[in-house]
Amino acid sequence: MPLVTTKEMFKKAYEGGYAVGAFNVNNMEIIQGITEAAKKLNAPLILQVSKGARAYANHTYLVKLVEAAVEETGLPIALHLDHGPDFETCKACIDGGFTSVMIDGSSLPYEENIAVTKKVVEYAHAHGVVVEGELGTLAGVEDDVAVEDGNASYTQPDQVEDFVTRTGVDSLAIAIGTSHGAYKFKPGQKPQLRFDILEEVSKRLPGFPIVLHGASSVVPEFVEKINKFGGDMPDAIGIPEEMLRKAATMAVCKINIDSDLRLAMTAAIREYMAENPSHFDPRQYLKPARTAIEGMVTHKIVDVLGCDGKA
């Protein structure tokens, strides 16, 4: 099976009351860890590449690694551009083998967001590629764009029909209280998501797939391990997994996870290096890192997303 778009996987996810995991990939071990978990669980997958990942690993290397994963697993896998910053980057990914792109115009004035999103949709659809748009801004860092807490804004449900109709997007990322990175809430702050906004959005867009960014749960075990083995991370709070499970049963069809993978990988490498200080073969510490990624993704697929057996 070649790379697929998200069209069919979102239709099944919406109807089945589960979500597909969209995991950020930056190198071979991350791709292998994620796809090994999905293969064992027969789960559909979205592997997503940010502007930063393309700069780090090179577009062609990432496409070829993901194509290798498709060949090795036989799973339905979509290759997605995460937070496309402009038309040119989206075009380069559409021309270069991606099956899905996100154009992130969420920090632009509304009409400018519509204009750039519509332009990307026209080009993408002419090439058989699907498009994710975004309305509302998340706090945290989206590639080079840092959004201060006070400037983050929830999606306004009364804009979504107009946005989707005028742009033609295939899915929509909304802001309901998630944010990027490991520090989503201040110490002492109670994590909360605006399920009322999600419900209102899905009433206005029946059957339409919604995307949640910034959905890592920042599993404390990994932060503790990082700190136990020489790290110095302040207390971090993520999105409680029961909230993500609930969102997955609603209109949310795609849940983005990056920070949890970073934490799992870094914790495994720190532990390995602390316990084997004389080792210097990268394969020795990247192997447990890859296994940690596989464990994390297995947990997400089974306990959070509910997409095991749905490939």
- Binding region for ligand G3H (CB under 6 A) out of 48-56, 105-113, 128-136, 158-166: 48-56
How would DSSP label each residue in 33-78? HHHHHHHHHT--EEEEEEHHHHHHH-HHHHHHHHHHHHHHH---EE
The secondary structure of residue 245, as a DSSP letter, is H
The rounded distance, in Å, linking the Cα atoms of 43 and 45 is 6
How would DSSP label each residue in 108-158? S-HHHHHHHHHHHHHHHHHTT-EEEEEESB-SEEETTEEE-GGG-B---HH
- Binding region for ligand G3H (CB under 6 A) out of 34-42, 47-55, 156-164, 186-194: 47-55
Among 5, 100, 106, 216, the residue binding ligand 13P under the rule CB under 6 A is: 216
Residue 309: is it exposed, middle or buried by C-beta count within 10 angstroms (0-12/13-18/19+)? Answer: exposed
Q: What is the token pair recorded at 259? A: 């920070």
Please choose which of ligand 13P, Zn ion, ligand G3H, none residue 132 contacts, taking the beta carbon within 5 to 8 angstroms, the exact cut-off set by kind. Answer: none
Total number of residues that touch Zn ion (CB under 5 A): 1
- 106 in contact with ligand G3H (CB under 6 A): no
308 has catalytic annotation = no
- Binding region for ligand 13P (CB under 6 A) out of 110-118, 122-130, 190-198, 252-260: 252-260
The rounded distance, in Å, linking the Cα atoms of 6 and 8 is 6
- 53 in contact with ligand G3H (CB under 6 A): yes
In the complex, what is the shortest distance from the CB of residue 146 to Zn ion, in angstroms, rounded to a whole number?
13
- Binding region for ligand 13P (CB under 6 A) out of 4-12, 162-170, 185-193, 258-266: 258-266
Using the structure block, give the residue that is written with the tokens 């749905």.
310
Binding pattern for the stretch 129-168 against ligand 13P, x by CB under 6 A and - elsewhere: ----------------------------------------
Total number of residues that touch ligand G3H (CB under 6 A): 10
Among 213, 254, 262, 310, the residue binding Zn ion under the rule CB under 5 A is: 213
- 50 in contact with ligand G3H (CB under 6 A): yes
Show Cβ contacts of residue 95 under 8 Å, excluding neighbours closer than 6 positions. 127
Give the other-Cβ count within 10 Å of 275's Cβ: 10
What sign for the dihedral angle of Cα 182, 184, 190, 191? negative
Contact residues: ligand 13P, CB under 6 A: 24, 82-83, 180-181, 213-216, 256-260
Cite the active site residues.
82
